[in-house]
Every structure is written in C-alpha cells, then in structure tokens.
Amino acid sequence: MYAIVEIAGQQFKVEKDQQIFVHRLETKEGSNIDFDKVLLMDNSGKVNVGAPVIKGAKVTAKVLEHLKGDKVIVFKKKRRKGYKVKNGHRQYLTKLEILKIDDKAASSKKTSAKKDVKSIVEKAPAKKTAAKKPAAKKAPAKKTAAKKPAAKKAPTKKTTAKKAE
C-alpha cells in the first residue's frame, strides 16, 4: 500500500515504515504529524485518485530529527569575461518516518453520505413542478446592407508621341 502526499509544497510517494527527508517542518522531534493532502492512494491494486485530494484520507508520520543536508556548491562562470562566482548552501531538512496510511475514513464517509441522500429523498415530499414560462422572444437581428464593390475603371491608354524624321 502506498500513497502520494503533499508535504510542505512537494509531493512524495510514501509507504508504511518508510523514512523520508522533507523541507524543515515547525514541529518538535518525536511528535506525530498528520497530512491530509493525500492525492492518490493504492491499496493492493485498487487505485483511488483524489479530485484534487481524497477526503478523509490521511497519512500519519513521526518526526525523527531535524538536520542539515549535504553542502551544495553553486558555481557560475562566463568564459572569456573573468566572471566567476562560487556560492554554496546546506538545506534545512526534517527526517520523517511514516507510521500509517489511513483511508478508512474516506470509505466510511462515502457509505454514510449515500445513506443520508437516500433518507433525505424518502423524507422530502414530492414537490409540484411549476409549468415553465415560455422564453421571451428575441428581436430579430438587424441586417446590415452589404456594400457593393466600386466598379473597376478600365486602364487608360497612354499615347506615345512619335517623332518625325
């Protein structure tokens, strides 16, 4: 069983007992965290895709530790210009362990929602439908007179003066 979850603006494919590194979360080490933004869930071949999230589904994780990632070197250079810049940073990360993936709330809500709809339909008296009013007629669109193209003028003949010899 796995799920695709959105954590701190990024999407992760998680399974039970998996350890993942995410961007630093504002929680204490050792505390549990619930993620409600479950986008997709696969339960032994049965895939459930959210639109955009699966309602009622959640993933519970435990914060193991806060740490810094490996150093990343950022080097910029423009050849033949004498331009070189070297920077680096270490990303702040949180290590999580996935405790459980829960989709039971989603399935129980679906069945209860269907029962609620049926009970509402049975309890509500049948409403009389009013006769529809005829739609107001639209005024016919005014036709614009098509302009006739101007008649083409015949090309004028040029007379050439002949020189007397």
Whether 103 has a pLDDT exceeding 90, the answer reads no
Calpha distance 40→119 (Å, rounded): 31
Measured between its terminal Cα atoms, the distance across the chain in Å is 109
**Can you give the pLDDT at residue 127?**
54
Beta strand 83-102 with 58-78 is antiparallel
Whether 134 has a pLDDT exceeding 50, the answer reads yes
DSSP helix/strand/coil, 136: coil
DSSP helix/strand/coil, 20: strand
Q: Please say whether the beta carbons of 59 and 17 come within 8 A.
A: no
Domain limits, the chain: 2-108
Q: Please say whether the beta carbons of 11 and 39 come within 8 A.
A: yes
Beta strand 19-23 with 58-78 is unpaired
Whether 60 has a pLDDT exceeding 70, the answer reads yes
Other beta carbons within 10 angstroms of residue 57's beta carbon come to: 25
Calpha distance 49→41 (Å, rounded): 6
Q: What is the pTM of this model?
A: 0.58
